[in-house]
Amino acid sequence: MPSPPRRRNLRGHGALLRDEILAAAIRVVDGAESESEVSLRGIARAAGIAAPSVYAHFADLEKVLEAVAESSWVQVSEEIAEHTAEATDPRERLLIGCRVYVSFARRHPLRYALMTQKGQIPPAARRALASVTRGLLACRGQATAGGSDLDSDRIAAALSVALHGVAMLHRSDAPSLWLSDFSTDDVIQTLIDGATLQLPDSECV
């Protein structure tokens, strides 16, 4: 059902319209099976505006999808922060964060695909992935050490790649091949344990 026509924003409220377009784009992406189903016309219709109005805020569809990806990285970071806020054990905090990350990818598969496509890495993505390094440093008892090191960065990168693999498995029938005898959570816990075991002086083992 097409969205009802929206009222014109007052002068100086252009940022509000941009936010409305972005929110509409997220709804369209979440309702699509593939990127080919997402169009500027469909996004404009969902926002209740004429298609040409989108161009005042986004140069083209690619720019809209880049904004969707950036917003999604912010969202997953906020969800991780919310769910880990009360955890006091470093390993448990890292485990919860990884669970939330994979859960987000499963709930929003097309958005996750946009978030991890080749291209410029948005600042929000770097901040989200840096949280993995911070989690590992906390496991080593260096939560406030003021920076990471090459070993921690390497281990965090390996863990992030493995989590991405788990997330992408659920976009196909592949889980039945690798996860027939184990749950996703079993695999995530194993990845966490493998990563923390590589840390010198780890407090998580």
Structure tokens at 31: 């309702």
If asked whether residues 140 and 91 sit together in one domain, one would say: yes
Provide the domain count of the chain.
Answer: 2
Task: Calculate helix-pair angle for 184-197, 123-139, nearest 10 degrees.
Answer: 70
**Please, which residues have CB within 8 angstroms of residue 166's CB and are 6 or more apart in sequence?**
102, 184, 187, 188, 191
User: CATH no. for residue 49?
Assistant: 1.10.10
In a domain, 203, yes or no: no
Q: What digits encode the pLDDT tens for the residues 143-160?
A: 544 456 778 888 888 999
pLDDT digits (tens, 9 = 90+) for 78-106: 999 999 999 989 999 999 999 999 999 99
- Please report whether residue 178 resides in a domain: yes
For residues 20 and 52, membership in a common domain is answered with: yes
Range of the domain at 20: 14-58
End-to-end Cα distance, the chain: 54
Would 21 be classed as within a structural domain?
yes
- On whether both 107 and 50 belong to a single domain, the answer is no
Better pLDDT: 179 or 166: 166
Nearest to 140 by CA among 129, 156, 157: 156
Residue 35, both tokens? 């990127």
Predicted TM-score (pTM) of this structure: 0.83
In a domain, 205, yes or no: no
Nearest to 121 by CA among 70, 155, 159: 70
Token pair of 14 as six digits: 């252009």
> Would 164 be classed as within a structural domain?
yes
Same domain membership, residue 104 and residue 25: no
User: Which residue is associated with the tokens 């996860």?
Assistant: 179
User: What's the CA gap between 84 and 123, in Å, rounded?
Assistant: 21
Residues 49, 80, single domain; the answer is no
Q: Are residues 78 and 161 in the same domain?
A: yes
